Structure 1
Amino acid sequence: MSELLALLNYEFARNALMAAVLASVLAGTVGTFVVVKRLVFIAGGISHAAFAGLGFFYWLGGNPLTGAVVVAVLAALLLGWLGEHRARSQDALIGVLWAGGMATGIVFIHLTPGYTPDLMTYLFGDILTVSRADVYLLAALTVGVIVVMALFYRTLVAVAFDETFAAVQGAPVKWMTTLLLVLVALSVIMLIQVVGIVLLIALFTIPPMIALMLAQRFIVVLGIAVAAGLITSTGGLAGSYWLDLPSGPAIVLFGIIALVLVRGWTAVTAAGRRASGAG
């Protein structure tokens, strides 16, 4: 433990820890809506489409994350315009976004003259390379996403659980779904820094799944999901140091272990309650 605390004397370690905390907030809040509304596949399409913008802006000599933001938001707007049900039914389109985004990004990075970056950093993340400027950008994105979610919280919850009823009540279902997809797109950019494009869906889904096992009231689920994200990201980060593993995969594996343990605990306690009730 003392060795881990000593690491905080280094700026890269402090940046990594702050990025992990910010990512946990987004993974817990936005990810919960993604899981409840069953947008995981659509979120995966947006995240992989973002790689096209990342590669294109790298080829132009600009900031790759800026390109990822642009393409991710455009993909979210496209899917929002199609409508959630239409987008789900046209899963081939999402598959094209998924594969086409990855292929396009790789091609542009390959075409860039000079040194070719290690794609593993983008695909699987490397939280230890997050700079202070990245942390500021991620903090701004996190605050912006949380403020928007707070402003439209009631409507977003209504649309997430029962959009038919929400529409009857006069809620702008299509606009709210589009807004949620844009928030997913912005969150994707942050999670790319932490676990990479390939593994970020796990960080979107694991903390909310843990929370949904432990609570039913939605606001409580959000809080537990954020806490689970914090435990997952910081625990995985510590595990990557002790076991000398890549940080992104270590975070995801730590989360899967936590998910299995919580599932086992809930199954045992439920069985115990049934046994005591029968007795």
Structure 2
Amino acid sequence: MIEALEYGFFRNAILGSLLTAIVCGLLGSYVVARRMVFVSGGITHASFGGIGMGLYLGINPLLSAAGFAVLSALGVQGAARTGLLREDSAIAAFWSLGMALGTLFVALTPGYSTGLSAFLFGNILLVSHTDLFLLSGMALLTIAAFIFGFRTILYTAFDPDFARTRGVRVQLVEMLMSVAIALGIVLSIRLVGIMLLMSLLTLPQSIMNLFTSRFSAILVGSVVLAAVAALIGLWGSYTLGIPSGAFIILVLVCLFLLAKTIKHFVHAQS
């Protein structure tokens, strides 16, 4: 792996994976605490419609995917809040619509979309300087939001009713967090792809939650675990010639099983 550092694309991959770990680690903690796992899954898959549109129109697929993801996040939230649809029905509707539109646009795109598999399954080695710039901005904004708005996010995630009594504008916070999650999802697609991204938003947090219920500890631990898994995934991708995204998720699954075993053993001993 030391030899690989001589290549610029591999250095970009390492930096991109660390930035993605920060974004997914922090936003994923809110997702798990707020029980929005399937909402995030719906947003992730709905963004495929934007990717297909981008490929069809010849524009940056991540830009159009961001538009689809944000509209889907706000659409699910709005439909559930107004009673137009139950939340699970709204998720299913946007999930299916995004995948259907993405498939349609891909089928209409002339020629073979060579970059499609990278969006579906991830290819961190294709990360560009633009991707790094956008990820850096997203990471800084996410860190700032969780530092300066920690209590607001904490109250909103665990007890919205209590948050309202403290003067928190819960609806606005939920909307802003939904937009942040949508953008974080789109910018993280390069690492593990649409098909596996939901695991990166939930597994590190689930592992940390086995050992602590402190939200601050879960935030920091999730970032560290995601970063470790990403670096091991890159190493596996380089040495074994396998997709980095799939290897990253396998590492996280193994860490979860190990953590579960340790937790069970400690509990049995006590």
TM over 0.5: yes
Q: Which of 63, 72, 77 in structure 2 is aligned with 1:75? A: 72
- Using structure 1 for the length normalisation, give the TM-score: 0.91
Please name the residue that 1:203 is paired with. Answer: 200
State whether structure 2 residue 185 is matched by structure 1 residue 188.
yes
State whether structure 2 residue 230 is matched by structure 1 residue 267.
no
How far apart are 1:134 and its partner, in Å? 1.5
Cα-to-partner distance string for 1:215-262 (whole Å, 9 max, x where unaligned): 222111111111111111111221222332111111101110011101
Compared with structure 1, are the counterparts of its residues 201 and 129 closer, same or farther at alpha carbon in structure 2 (3 Å cutoff)? same
In 2, Cα distance between equivalents of 1:88 and 1:157 = 27
Please name the residue that 1:90 is paired with. Answer: 87
Q: Which of 144, 149, 162 in structure 2 is aligned with 1:147? A: 144
Aligned residues: 270
Identity among equivalent pairs (%): 36
In 1, Cα distance between equivalents of 2:197 and 2:65 = 14
Q: Which of 214, 218, 222 in structure 1 is aligned with 2:219? A: 222
> Which aligned segments of 4 or more residues in structure 1 are displaced greater than 6 angstroms?
none
Compared with structure 1, are the counterparts of its residues 167 and 68 closer, same or farther at alpha carbon in structure 2 (3 Å cutoff)? same
1:55–1:105 contact (8 Å) kept in structure 2: yes
User: Equivalent residues in 2 for 1:154-193 (5 A)?
Assistant: 154-193=151-190
Give the counterpart letter for 2:233 in structure 1. Answer: G
5+ long unaligned stretches in structure 1:
275-279
How well do the aligned residues superpose, as a CA RMSD in angstroms?
Answer: 1.8
Compared with structure 1, are the counterparts of its residues 229 and 85 closer, same or farther at alpha carbon in structure 2 (3 Å cutoff)? farther
In 2, Cα distance between equivalents of 1:140 and 1:185 = 15
**3-state SS of 1:100 partner:** helix
Please name the residue that 2:13 is paired with. Answer: 16
1:42–1:88 contact (8 Å) kept in structure 2: no
Please name the residue that 2:23 is paired with. Answer: 26
Deviates more, 1:203-212 or 1:99-108: 99-108
How far apart are 1:94 and its partner, in Å? 1.0
2:29–2:222 contact (8 Å) kept in structure 1: yes
In 2, Cα distance between equivalents of 1:61 and 1:147 = 34
Give the counterpart letter for 1:29 in structure 2. Answer: L
Give the counterpart letter for 1:139 in structure 2. Answer: S
- Using structure 2 for the length normalisation, give the TM-score: 0.94
State whether structure 2 residue 107 is matched by structure 1 residue 120.
no
In 2, Cα distance between equivalents of 1:262 and 1:17 = 25
In 1, Cα distance between equivalents of 2:240 and 2:108 = 36
5+ long unaligned stretches in structure 2:
none
